Every structure is written in structure tokens, then in C-alpha cells.
Amino acid sequence: MTTAVLTWMMAASAKTRRRWLGAIFLACAAILLICGLTVLGGHLRGLALAAYWVVCLLFAVLAMVLALADFRAIGREARQEQQTLLQNAFGEFENKTSQKPGRPQGRTDG
């Protein structure tokens, strides 16, 4: 099973990996939070309690870091898409204006 998961993760795109890992980290943090407040609340003391909440915090921070990375990647993709659309639109506009019949090419009198 682990081999299948690793194979899938290597074949998936960076966006897919980022989102799946973010969801997994967020789910781990949520499960640890619920278990820490309900089942384990009365059993953990001292250093074990501190270590437990540090691990929970670590999962939450990892989820936030991946969310920020995804946010930046989405912005980068949107900028690239916008540039491509503008280049295509202006390219079509230039082609249409240069191919109009009846317009003199080259020198203009004025």
C-alpha cells in the first residue's frame, strides 16, 4: 500500500501533492485537537502534554505553510494566464488591423 501511495504522489502534479498534503496535515491537526480535548485530556500530564500539543501545533503550521505556498502558486498561475490571454488578444488585434483591405501599407501622407 505504501508503494502505491508513493507512486501516485510522484506521478501527481505539484498542485495535487500540495493540496493533498495540506489536507492530510490539517486532518491530523484536527484529529489531535479533538482527541486532546476529549479522550486524552485527563491522561496527559507534564512533558507528555506539552509534546502532544507541540505536535498538534506542528501539523497546523505545516498545513498553513502549504496553504500559503498554494496561494502563491495560484497567483503565479493567474498572472501567467493573464499575460497569455493579453498576448493572444493583442496578437489577434494586430493581425486584423494589418490585414484590413484598402489601407495603405508603409508610408502615410500627412
pLDDT (0 to 100) of residue 62: 95
Q: What is the DSSP string of 67-83?
A: HHHHHHHHHHHHHHHHH
Does pTM surpass 0.85? no
Say whether pLDDT at 5 is over 80.
no
Contact between 37 and 29 (Cβ < 8 Å):
no
- pLDDT per position as a tens digit, 32-81: 999 999 988 788 899 999 999 999 999 999 999 999 999 999 999 999 99
Contact between 22 and 70 (Cβ < 8 Å):
yes
